[in-house]
Amino acid sequence: MYKLYLHLGRIPNAIISIANQINANKYLISGNGSEIIDIENNKVIYENYLSKSKVQEIIEICEKNSVFYSIYTRNAILTKSLNYNILFYLNENKKNPENKKININVINDMYKYIKEYNSEDFLKVTICDNDKIIFNGIVNKLKKIKNVDFLKVYHMSKKIITHGSQNYEIAYYYTEITNKNVNKWTAIQNLIKKINIQENEVIAIGDNINDKEMVKNAGLGIALKNGSEELQKIADKVVASNNENGVSQAIYENLE
């Protein structure tokens, strides 16, 4: 019998209310595995954040090479402009009530802002560009930074934005930079030790390439039909898309 269902989110303050609605009121893994939150006690019980010095190093390289980046903290996404993946979050915000909106802050002088920032709760930094050559070039430069991990993406990320009755697709090359050894599966391993269950009792449901490690290693790994093709290939099962209640299907079919 599978006993563990996790709500894995982006920014904690924006998703705790969603977790509560689905009665996932015990633990929350966020920031792609950067932290585990004990919801009941409102306490971070595991963290693996990027340091301020690492974030500043990333900013310097991105600024010198005029590439788009955004920084994710526990409370907000920090960006210099509204583009690429930020457009998707803006579109999602239109659909959501205030307590579920992603907090997006446009910052003119990012380096100064981070220097004066009074915390070190940096979950990840995302890098985007629609030119493959430029994207690969900046990633190669960023890979010289020590003790960080990169999401390995070999294809363009595609998102659908709805405006009125029309759907528009935005496509771009994309990667995420986290602290060393950050991924959802590592966080799950830390959590299941705490709650005393086995890895083969875990069901992991995902749609993106950053779900790869947990889908591959869980007792049952499930991919959504509209998700990454690479993820679908390694999953034990593929269910309907997230627009067709695929997560609900996965839960009802596999949880006793």
Which mean pLDDT values do the consecutive 10-residue runs of the chain (256 residues) have?
Answer: 44 63 78 88 91 96 95 93 89 78 92 94 94 92 94 73 74 92 93 92 89 94 89 94 85 80
- Write out the residue range of the structural domain in which residue 23 sits: 7-48+182-254
- Residues 31, 184 contacting (CB under 8 angstroms): no
For residue 44, the domain's CATH number is 3.40.50.1000
Q: Do 150 and 215 have their domain in common?
A: no
Q: Do 64 and 172 have their domain in common?
A: yes
- Picking from 4, 2, 35, 119, the residue whose alpha carbon sits closest to that of residue 15 is 35
Q: Which two tokens stand for residue 251?
A: 């839960």
- Angle of helix 132-142 relative to helix 52-64, nearest 10 degrees, comes to 140
Instruction: Determine, yes or no, domain membership for 15.
Output: yes
Residues 6+ apart with CB under 8 A from 116: none
Instruction: Determine, yes or no, domain membership for 1.
Output: no
Q: Do 38 and 56 have their domain in common?
A: no
Can you tell me the distance from the alpha carbon of 62 to that of 55, in angstroms, rounded to the nearest whole number?
11
pLDDT for the residue 15: 66
pTM: predicted TM-score of the whole model, two decimal places: 0.83
pLDDT for the residue 175: 92
Q: Which two tokens stand for residue 2?
A: 């599978």
What is the number of domains present in the chain?
2
Instruction: Determine, yes or no, domain membership for 149.
Output: yes
Q: Do 170 and 57 have their domain in common?
A: yes
Q: Do 140 and 224 have their domain in common?
A: no
